Amino acid sequence: MTTLTLSKALNEGLRKALENDPKVLIMGEDVGKLGGVFRVTDGLQKDFGEARVVDTPLAESGIVGTAIGLALRGYRPICEIQFDGFVFPAFDQIVCQLAKMRYRSLGKLSLPVVIRIPFGGGIGAVEHHSESPEALFAHTPGLRVVSCGDPADAFAMIQQSVNSDDPVIFFEPKRRYWDKAEVDVAEGLAAALPLDRARVLVPGSDVTVLTYGPMVRTCAEAAVAAAQDGRSLEVIDLRSLAPLDTATIVESVRKTGRCVVVHEAVVTGGLGAEIAARITQECFYQLEAPVLRVGAYTTPYPPSRLEEHYLPDLDRVLDAVDRTFGY
């Protein structure tokens, strides 16, 4: 076991993918010589060459469009979108081309493209650098949408995403890039949790807390705090946002009878709304309280000095847990 930051775990996972398949390549702005803004691709161009780790022009639509063409020719491109708010110039390519090619070709063509997107806030960044657009992609049929929550998952999930014949939108919680944990870099993927499965991070019996990405650590800390008040939270890291692992979600909520969904994204129209609707449909007779959602306020992302008030935190999660017992 090796102690790695989340960013370094992604780097090691990308290295494994490049080593295992000569058709894998990485492309994006500053991913080569610089190693990416967050240094996730640091050293890869030096070791694999400029033909496989490609510094591209500042053109997200061009990056994704080129990746689609490469995938049609048998390659497995990994695109880096430098920041979440910069993905929108490529939105048309992603939802109109990448997501629909297999369906349009009646299954004859596949586009094994991974699009890596650092997302969420918490780093004091400027405008357009702290967005949470995951619901837009989860709403689009034909895309797998996933998010890692810790270094071990990051290491395995990026490799699984590269191996997938479906296009994958891979969300990386940028505020967690420097979190450290033990990772078995020698272990193969056979023992890893499948890419479309949720993970019970903290077993519990009183309230199910569903989350992903940057809020995984916050919700795990909430479980520790709640235990001091005698409440047992079952924290589930969703990992896959599309498709959702509904079976794991439903099993937990039927056991606890209460549920709180937590994400950094704006609550209105967020992924929590879809999850709450599914739980209400599948667990109606087991629910002791409405499914509650905790997320960002319905405003554009604020200046950095206000983001700690805008983003959900430990207190807001615990407040929602308390409210589930008030019905």
Residues in the chain: 327
For residue 74, the one-letter residue type is G
Q: Give the whole-angstrom CA distance, residue 156 versus residue 165.
A: 16
Q: How many CB atoms lie within 10 A of CB 144?
A: 22
* Contact yes or no for 31/77 (Cβ under 8 A): no
Catalytic: 309? Answer: no
Q: Give the whole-angstrom CA distance, residue 302 versus residue 287.
A: 35
Q: Which of 227, 237, 245, 320 lies closest to 282, judged by CA?
A: 245
- Torsion from C-alpha of 103, 27, 191, 218, nearest 10 degrees: -100
**Which 8-state DSSP code applies to residue 246?**
H
* Contact yes or no for 270/211 (Cβ under 8 A): no
For residue 183, the one-letter residue type is V
- Beta pairing partners, 55: 28
Beta sheet of 53-55, edge-to-edge order: 53-55, 24-28, 76-80, 114-119, 168-173, 144-147, 240-242
Residue with tokens 């790695």: 4
Pairing relationship of beta strands 259-266 and 207-211 according to DSSP bridges:
parallel
Q: Which one is catalytic: 128, 129, 139, 309?
A: 129
Q: Which of 6, 14, 9, 13 lies closest to 31, judged by CA?
A: 14
For residue 262, the one-letter residue type is V
Residues noted as catalytic: 129
